Amino acid sequence: MLSSQKRQSTRINQSQCLSFAVLLFLVPLCLWGKAVLQSNAQSAQPAAPSSDSIKFEQAFAVLASEKEDPHRLYPAFYSYVIWPHAVVEKGKVFCAFQNSKGRPVVMTYDSARKNWEGPVRASEAGLHNDAHGNPAIAIDGEGRLHVFYGCHGGPMRHTRSVKPYDIGAWEEQPPPTPRATYPQIIRMADGALYLFYRAGGHMEPWSLRVSRDHGRSWSEAERVIEMRLEPRDPLAAAYCDFFPGSDGKTIHCVWNHKDDNAARVTAEKPHPWRPLKYPGLHEAVYRYNIYYMRRDPDGVWRNAAGEVIPTPISKAAADAKCLVFDSGDEFANPIALAVDRQNRMYVKFRVGVTDWTKGYDDPKAVLVPLRTKYARFEAGQWQIRNAPPPDWPEDAASALRAPGEPAYGDTGWGRWFIGCTRRALAPDTGSAVYLYNEKSGFAARSGGPAFVE
């Protein structure tokens, strides 16, 4: 049961409530966050705080405690491959995250009244001990809220608010797809809902389904990225970000190559197509290169230079036409994205060799220290820098610094960013969730964060 007043909650045995999958994603993804900018202005804003500096009183919700080990806190959500976790319309910010049982929870912040509503569970279903089930949220053209959640290779769950702009009551909807992981939902300018997801396990294609009737029905799946096709490699996968362009008609995509061959290498079984410089690490960390393409308003996918990219795109085609950065033997992960008002794309990513499944405090986990890089397509090619140059728009640069991922939608009250911590901010608490506005700062909750069990 949810409680906004009590701090006491039943401790749940860690071995029962946490799968190792939670650990795999919480450390790199909750910490890093993702910032996507839908910019309407070029004015400079005050510097945003870092996600590591968040204080307890700045959070609006805190999960029930799990274990003192900060690297194993059950995450409220993680950025990068499931999002958005907040949408804005009519001056309200609708936020979605999961409780420590993996069930979707929704809260609303009223920008004018400066108060919070909720928490409310949108469903009693969930993946329980698997953080892959955390929710993405959208608002359809009729004002009803949609939450997509609870899938790790199986049917994607979908629940919808009974009334427009009201989180009080929810009704379950049929699964939009029978096999899925990582829902990413975007409402386009024409009201269509674009639902991206991975169609099952690691190597399955990243796919798209579209609803033009406010989520009541969905199109057949369109395969977008399938790295295993060419060269033929049954263990080639990808992790993808799909996010809206500033025109409301374009969809951008940034991804990396996940090599599932790497963790299977032994002295007797070498890598099938490359010398593996860093064997013996956890399978989750073997992610290479940064790629980019976009879906234009005509429905055609193109690279940054405007060349048509047939889909589903393979690794060979991605290397030839969509490569932003070749990481070589090191690992590469996008950590922040921005799209300015000219619909130009900016990528912030990290390169290095870190077995982050061991935790950053383990000196054996870091083999090559992480370095942060910034990329923008200029003069016909991707330019890679160690810091944003002075000529980048300040709104783009500030989005890359924001402490969390963006809330999609109206920016009339300033841009909103939502994030969660990978550490406890107070005794007997778990992961905390916060909402930050570039103009007004943190949207704190009167009486302190809501405690979510």
CB 423 within 8 A of CB 54: no
HEC per residue, 157-188: EEEEECCCCCCCCEEEECCCCCCCEEEEEEEC
Mean pLDDT of all residues in 286-307:
98
Phi, psi for residue 23 in degrees, rounded to 5 = -60, -40
Map tokens 């994205």 to a residue.
337
Q: What is the DSSP letter of 47?
A: P
Q: What integer pLDDT is reported at residue 444 of this predicted model?
A: 96
d(C-alpha 199, C-alpha 31), whole Å: 26
Map tokens 């609006």 to a residue.
60
Mean pLDDT lowest among 165-179, 313-327, 403-417: 403-417
Phi, psi for residue 161 in degrees, rounded to 5 = -70, 145
CB 143 within 8 A of CB 191: no
Q: What is the DSSP letter of 340?
A: -
Q: What integer pLDDT is reported at residue 18 of this predicted model?
A: 38
Residue 169 pLDDT > 60: yes
What's the full length of the chain, in residues? Answer: 453
Q: What is the DSSP letter of 242?
A: E
d(C-alpha 431, C-alpha 438), whole Å: 23
> Which amino acid, residue 164?
P
Q: Is the peptide bond before 49 cis (omega within 30 degrees of 0)?
A: no
Q: Does domain 14-452 have CATH number 3.40.50?
A: no
Mean pLDDT lowest among 37-46, 65-74, 341-350: 37-46
In tens, the pLDDT along 238-260 reads 999 998 999 999 999 999 999 99
Mean pLDDT of all residues in 441-452:
95
